[in-house]
Amino acid sequence: MQVILEVLPGVLKLWINVLPSMLLGCFLGNLFHNTAFLHRLGQGMRPLAQLGHLPAGCATSLTLCLVNRIAAYTMLAELKNTGLIKARDVVVSFLVSALPTSLYFIVFFIGPVVISSLGWFTGVAYLFIYLGTNIIVSCVGLLMGKFLLPLPEQGQEKDEPSWIVIREPWREKLIVAARRTLPAFCRLATVFMPVTLLVSILIHTSLMDQIMRQIDPALNYLGLPGLTIIVITTGVMSMIAGIGTLGPILQAGLVTPCEAITTLLITSVLHYLYEFWSGGLPTNISIFGPKLGSKVSLAALLVRESATCLALGLVVLLT
């Protein structure tokens, strides 16, 4: 009972942040099925989608990632459920979405924190590395699309959706989309809420302590000061908190800029694992279903961790 009381505030915050986005994504996915409005919104990301042989609907989802990634993924699931895209399209789109999603995070979340905490030189260097790792993830997705997905048929974009449907009154389109949205959202919520609560309880057991005890030898091997364990411990659960913790340490001269970036990359590797179990996997399973949700989560984790470890290795070798 004590563990539940400890994790409940964080879980409630997660629900408040994610559930409205899921509702929006369900609505947009159903609306896309009935109107060309969101089809036109995908124009900006269409060249990226075409590089990966993705259908036009996926371009709209990629565009939505610039605003709200949960809504974008929920919309992607609704497009699959309505038969407009297939499971392989979802996996490829999920990986390609790393680029627009990272741009959103840099501008609205970590960017201001990184610059204010680490300064312009170290902050911009870290942001370039962060963006570079996400570009690698997107490129892997594009390569997968090149090899796994067929080229969209000529004229497909013009035929989707049909002109008969487009001519329906907007009021009718909104009503139909709203009617389809509520049952889909309820199915997602009934899976997402209990799963995220259960995973949060499991993570706040002795498991995290055991993991953190294994990190200290790795820090010594990489030549990092023992003080950085504070940053890593804090950043595993929140990268923004970890960056904020690192700021005073860097400004006091207790770590060099290169050591600061190395610390953040190590923290990212552990944070992605924590995020995978605490939020990513449960959320994706609730959105895409157990099989496809696990597939996209594992694919994204493996590619992202590989890209981050590559960046970490380059930083260690060059310093």
pLDDT, tens digit, for every residue of 47-59?
888 888 888 778 8
Closest CA to 93 of 295, 312, 309: 295
Domain total for the chain? 1
pLDDT bin (cut points 50, 70, 90) of residue 96 is very high
> Is the C-alpha dihedral spanning 234, 236, 242, 246 positive or negative?
positive
Q: What is the mean pLDDT of residues 118-127?
A: 91
**pLDDT of 92 over the 90 cut:** yes
Greater model confidence, 92 or 18:
92
Q: Please say if the pLDDT value at position 133 is more than 90.
A: yes
Residue linked to tokens 């609560």: 197
Q: Which of 81-85, 201-205, 214-218 has the highest mean pLDDT?
A: 81-85
**Range from 173-187, 261-275, 298-312 carrying the lowest mean pLDDT:** 173-187
Q: How confident is the model at residue 40 (pLDDT cuts 50, 70, 90)?
A: low
Mean of per-residue pLDDT scores for the chain: 78
- Confidence at residue 252, expressed as pLDDT on a 0 to 100 scale: 75
Per-residue pLDDT band at 217 (split at 50, 70, 90): low
Percent of the chain with pLDDT over 90: 21
Low-confidence winner among 158-172, 209-223, 279-293 (lowest mean pLDDT): 158-172
Per-residue pLDDT band for 155 (boundaries 50, 70, 90) equals very low
Q: What integer is the mean pLDDT of 25-50?
A: 65
**Predicted confidence band of residue 32 (pLDDT cuts 50, 70, 90):** low
Q: What are phi and psi of 253, to 5 degrees?
A: 80, 15
Output the pLDDT for position 14: 66
pLDDT above 90: residue 107: no
Pick the range with the lowest mean pLDDT from 163-167, 272-276, 281-285. 163-167
Q: What is the CA radius of gyration of the chain?
A: 21
Q: Which domain holds residue 194?
A: 2-318
